[in-house]
Structure 1
Amino acid sequence: MIVKVLGTGCKKCQKTEENARAAIKELGIDATIEKVEDVQGIMSYGVMATPALVVDEQVKVKGKVPTVEEIKKML
């Protein structure tokens, strides 16, 4: 499973990454987290508001910081 955090590195983007790492750890699943920080890469997903979370190439959240529990449900 590949989880991507889309964002330019702001505090909300960092928090989204932290929450994603926590959710993966709590579930004990094998997943890779990738950060997409360049605007072209972010826009290639059709995302105009960051942070965004992509799971296996499907945009799950955009424009808000999902909680650890919300991310666990997405995974």
Structure 2
Amino acid sequence: MTLSWKARRRWALFALVVALPLYIVVAVTVVSTIERPHFLIELLIYVALGILWAFPLKSIFKGISKPDPDAPHKD
């Protein structure tokens, strides 16, 4: 089932405003619970976690900046 353009825009907004800040809090909490690794290893963990969140949401963010394709055309 594919989402409509309007639904994808709403889910993208929800992901950026609600889910991403929660993900950041969880990621920082999880990394802080492990023993303090070397600076470069910690940096790599944060970079990997910073990129990892985008892959499952890629389909939601695709094309939302373009005009609604289902909207009636103005002639």
Q: Provide TM-score, normalisation by structure 1.
A: 0.33
Q: Which has the larger radius of gyration?
A: 2
Structure with bigger helix share is 2
Higher relative contact order (CA 8 A, sep 6+): 2
